Structure 1
């Protein structure tokens, strides 16, 4: 699981759907949250953990343009090859972000340790946890 510390900077709400904007290391993340329980009572200024699965992190070349709001460029620090999948570790302000991709995607993108790649995660795959 990927976990980053962040601060809520803005919340836009329509009915039970909240789009929450968060600052993690000076970079703005987005999270889509359903407001349907007491643990989803978030407010501006609150510190939270951003939590998202390795399988929800996608990679693209630095030049790629994607529709995802949570897209950031980071350097690959480690690659662990498996038979079908590869676990890529990226450095996001000294936080290790892990992405699990297929070996075919690893070779197609020509990923190497030290290369910079764009990584992104869909806003609806980012979970918030109160700190």
Structure 2
């Protein structure tokens, strides 16, 4: 599980949807949530953990253009090969981000330790935990 600490900087709500913007060490992430309940109300200024699964992290070359706003360039620090999947560890501002991709994708992208790649996680896959 990937976990980053951030601060809520903005919240946009429409009907039962809310888009929450968080700052993590100068980088803006967003999370798309279904509602802001009274018992777990999120507010600007709150500290939160951003939590997302390794299987929800996508890799792309650094020059790829994507629509997802949770897109950051980081260096690969470790590759663990399995029979079907590979776990790619990236260094994001001193935090480990893990991506679980197929071996075919690993070879197609020609991933090597030390290379920089863009990693992407959809806003709908980022869960928030208040601190």
TM-score scaled by length of structure 2: 0.97
CA-CA distance at 1:40 after TM superposition: 3.9
Aligned partner of 2:95 in structure 1 is 95
Residue 9 of structure 1 deviates from its aligned partner by 0.3
Residue in structure 1 matched with residue 114 of structure 2 by the alignment: 114
Distance 1:62 1:111 in 2: 12
- How far 1:36 sits from its partner (Å)? 5.5
- Inter-partner Cα distance in structure 2 for 1:118 and 1:40: 33
Unaligned segments of structure 2, at least 5 residues: none
CA distance in 2, matches of 1:59, 1:25: 21
Which contiguous aligned blocks of 4+ residues in structure 1 show a shift greater than 6 angstroms?
Answer: none
Q: Which runs of 5+ in 1 are unaligned?
A: none
Q: Equivalent residue for 1:52?
A: 52
Query: What is the distance in 2 between the residues matched to 1:102 and 1:81?
Result: 9
Corresponding pairs, count: 131
TM-score, normalising length from structure 1?
Answer: 0.97
1:2 is displaced (CA, Å) by 0.2
Which residue is 1:72 aligned to?
A: 72
1:11 — aligned with what? 11
Tell me the C-alpha RMSD between the 2 structures. 1.0
Separation in structure 2 between the aligned mates of residue 39 and residue 99 of structure 1, nearest angstrom: 33
